[in-house]
Amino acid sequence: MKTKIKHPQWPVRGVTILELMVAVSLISFIILALYQMFDRTQGLMRGAVREADKFENGRAAMDILRRDLSQMGYVKTLFDSGAGAVTNWPAVVLPPTPYNAGTYYPAGSVVFSGVNAYFAVRGTQGSAPSPVSSSPWALAAPNFRISEFAQVASPLVLLSSGGNPLLTNTLHDVFFMYFDPLIRTTVTPSGSIMAGSSYVASNTLTYAALARQPGDPFFGRTGIATYTGGANRAVLVEGGWRAVGYRVASSTNASILLGSAGPGPQVGTLYRYELGTLDNDARRMWLGFTNFAGTNFPAVTSVFQRVAENVVHFRCQAVTGNGSPFELTPGTGSLLMLGTNVPSLVQVELGIIDAKVAGQVSAIGTTNYFVQQGDSVQIFRQQIAIRLGQQ
């Protein structure tokens, strides 16, 4: 007879619902903590990238401004310009001095007569301003202009997180001319030059009874076909003068001024304007200026290029040789330099707001939120020396 052996009863083991809930809760807390850490790290990384982009954006824009403004120049020669310069654009403020036949004007004086601006090439009295070659007057090109004309909306005071004023945002536009002697140049083989063409002196020479120093631009006029001083001292320049301007406008269209549709957030794009290459005809220079100052450009245009995004502040100030600033004309908000006048220094301020904040400002669309974002604005400042202004 076989004996039946009983196996011992193994205890039944398992996980209770309470233990399972505790484990799931702990895992959830761990995952939540890790996600928060990851999200915070990602946020800091995105912020660092935006900060780097903001600094790179601002520094690149300031480099472009310095390169352009440092080359600012003026035309110091007579013009055969026919009907004269185009200066009767409503926003152009001509020199405050109308011509007076009884006044003696030393060389470099600037006056206006009719709709034209003139400067004296040599001292004169009793000779009415005229652009013809026999006149001591030359049509004055717009060498340099700062204006608040584009600033339709009133300036806003940006505040810190603590409510303290940090910045009054200013939106200037700036226009100037500069001569680029490297544009399609050809050395003249003799003392003969062509009427109607632009030249630059490569060495000291005399043309139209005026001494030309190295680098001086001049214009070949009818009836004066040669210069004196030796052969190969003049360089023919096809073009050379550039009309350059900067303005802050809508990020979608350079012709839409910030605030032109009424008060609201003033976050836009800094645009650079350039109108090809010009000879030294004052009419064409004024045409370049009035084109820049106008607001009738289509959304896509080849004369405006983007320089910096998310711009809330762009301020320019001209400084004389003794360090005194040129103030904008009261009531017009502009400064216009003609003739042989250029500043010695130009101080530029550029304010760029954080890209994320710019998006929030655009979405919310209220001024109250915008003015509280002063801590998100990075200001870039630069003092640019003007070579001709320091001679």
Q: What is the dihedral of CA 348, 329, 387, 347, to 10 degrees?
A: -20
Dist CA 293 CA 176 (whole Å): 12
Contacts of 258 (CB under 8 A, 6+ apart): 150, 151, 152, 153, 171, 248, 249, 250, 266, 267, 268
The fold adopted by the segment(s) 76-140 is Seminal Fluid Protein  PDC-109 (Domain B) (2.10.10)
> How crowded is residue 53: how many other Cβ atoms within 10 Å of its Cβ?
15
Encoded tokens for 251 = 């990020």
Rounded CA gap, 92 and 99, in Å? 18
Q: Which residues of 345-367 are buried (b: 16+ CB within 10 A; e: fewer)?
A: bbebbbbbbbbebbebbeeeeeb
**Beta bridge pairs of residue 235:** 187, 200
Q: For the beta carbon of residue 181, count every other beta carbon within 10 angstroms.
A: 15
Residue entry with tokens 């669309």: 365
Q: Are 77 and 391 in contact (CB under 8 A)?
A: no
- Span 232-245, pLDDT tens digits: 888 887 766 788 99
CA 56 to chain centre: 17
Parallel/antiparallel/unpaired status of strands 241-249 and 116-120: unpaired
Spacing of C-alpha 20 from chain mean position: 66
**Which parts of the chain sit beneath pLDDT 70?**
1-14, 75-93, 131, 133, 149-154, 181-183, 215, 217, 239-240, 259-265, 276-284, 294-302, 330-332, 389-391
Torsion of CA 159, 161, 163, 165, to 10 degrees: -30
Which one, of 150, 169, 165, lies nearest residue 379 by Cα? 169
- From CA 246, how far away is CA 30, in angstroms rounded? 54
Which strand (E) or helix (H) includes residue 120?
strand 116-120
In this structure, what token pair is assigned to residue 124? 């004169």
Domain boundaries, the chain: 48-73+142-180+242-390, 76-140, 181-239
List beta partners, residue 336: 145
Give the per-residue pLDDT at 212: 81
* pLDDT at position 352: 93
pLDDT value of position 278: 56
**Tell me, what's the pLDDT at 82?**
41
Contact 177, 273 (CB under 8 A): no
Q: What is the pLDDT of residues 146-158, one digit of tens each?
A: 988 555 556 788 8
Task: Sort 280 into a burial class: Cβ within 10 Å, 0-12 / 13-18 / 19+.
Answer: buried
Which pLDDT belongs to residue 239?
60
Entry field: residues in the chain? 391
Q: What is the pLDDT of residue 152?
A: 52
Decide: residue 61, CB within 10 A, 0-12 exposed, 13-18 middle, 19+ buried.
buried
Residue 149 pLDDT: 59
